[in-house]
Amino acid sequence: TDRKKLHTAPVGQVFRLRPLHVLVATGGGYAGYRKYEDYKLEQMEKRGIEVPVKLASEWEVALYKSVPTRLLSRAWGRLNQVELPTWLRKPVYSLYIWTFGVNMKEAAVEDLHHYRNLSEFFRRKLKPQARPVCCLHSVISPSDGKILNFGQIKNCEVEQVKGVTYSLESFLGPRVCTEELQFSQAPSGNSFQQQLVTKEGNELYHCVIYLAPGDYHCFHSPTDWRVSHRRHFPGSLMSVNPGVARWIKELFCHNERVVLTGDWKYGFFSLTAVGATNVGSIRIYFDQDLHTNSPSYSKGSYNDFSFVSNNNKEGISMRKGEHLGEFNLGSTIVLIFEAPKDFKFHLKAGQKIHFGEALGSL
């Protein structure tokens, strides 16, 4: 009679699985598994073993997309803005430096106590002499990183890594029919690739540069050119490391990206900054109206902005090596441009490159 009654509730009321919880748990676990697979592929590459191409199925891509990477990236961006106590800065930054192999001797300010938060540390400036700009070649690397792929574009398909392609039109979006871009007035029956070429005898070329978390996070103008137009594609923020780029076809078309198009002395020129997991924002210094990684967006949508106006007939003129923008963390830069047939790249796939070094020339 002294025993107390234990009141219980049905198990379903105590522990209730919600669809979002299932998606997050399943997607997160699968993302972890993919990270492990990527690590194994990287080890195979280091040993010189050729990695076979194995593309993700539609359900695998959908499952990966179920991970709330945009929400996590916004949270990461806010965390980066939190000011760290002075005593905590050196241990936190030292761990990051050790993990990703950051060379702080190149930084304009080597004292780790100087950086109030992670965001300032990620966007650290370099010493002027750390990245000399090559004057002998017409196109230089806009950033530090790893060369994933480069070469001539054929059949409107671009290689993101060896053996895995994406559609040129899906990546850049519909052709911008404005007089200021000086695109060729090609017949509508011609391919999208042919419509971008402005001069007879020219070809389209591309180069993909992957920025790892330990790389210098700013990017610069790769040549002297004129930026006429910006197109912003909201989208997913999946990882863009080489392992995932080898696994997901048209990865760069799925992810959020900012496409800058215009022209240089040989015709059409574009630079695209591709977002990725934990890249809370893509910033273009001269574009104050650009806002990336917004909480909501319409699938497949994009928005355009022209830098050519009645007051500014020339657009934005950029000099080779001039500061252009920055990422919050590592990501990818894709160059797509027109040049004569004798344009030659001075690169090897997989090589490390620094901002200012030569990409190619005539």
3-class SS at 254? helix
Nearest CA to 174 out of 273, 283, 282, 301 is that of 301
Identify whether 220 is a catalytic site residue: yes
Half-sphere exposure of 286 (CA within 13 A, CB side): 18
- Collapse the DSSP code of 211 into the 3-class scheme (helix H, G, I; strand E, B; otherwise coil) and give the result: coil
Report the distance separating Cα 296 and Cα 87, nearest Å.
Answer: 38
Nearest CA to 199 out of 178, 182, 215, 221 is that of 182
> How far is the C-alpha of 76 from the C-alpha of 93, rounded, in Å?
16
Give burial (CB, 10 Å; 0-12/13-18/19+) of 225: buried
Which alpha helices (DSSP H) does 15-146 contain, by range? 19-46, 58-65, 69-80, 86-100, 118-122
| Alpha-carbon dihedral 68, 332, 212, 62, rounded to 10 degrees | 30
Map tokens 């669809």 to a residue: 19
Catalytic residue among 73, 119, 143, 144: 144
Instruction: Answer for the pair 140, 222: CB distance below 8 angstroms, yes or no.
Output: yes
* C-alpha angle 156-175-184 in degrees, rounded to nearest 5: 85
Contacts of 15 (CB under 8 A, 6+ apart): none
From the candidates 217, 220, 232, 254, give the one annotated as an active-site residue: 220
263 has catalytic annotation: no
**Residue tagged active-site, from 138, 143, 184, 331:** 331
Rounded distance between C-alpha atoms, residue 223 and residue 74, angstroms: 32
Structure tokens at 173: 């979006």
Contacts with 54 (C-beta within 8 Å, 6 or more apart), sequence order: 246, 247
d(Cα 290, Cα 258) in Å, to the nearest integer? 9
Catalytic annotation on 144? Answer: yes
Residue 204 CA: distances (Å) to CA of 171, 182, 197, 339: 14, 16, 7, 6
Q: How far apart are CA 241 and CA 245, in angstroms?
A: 6
Annotated catalytic sites, by residue? 144, 220, 331
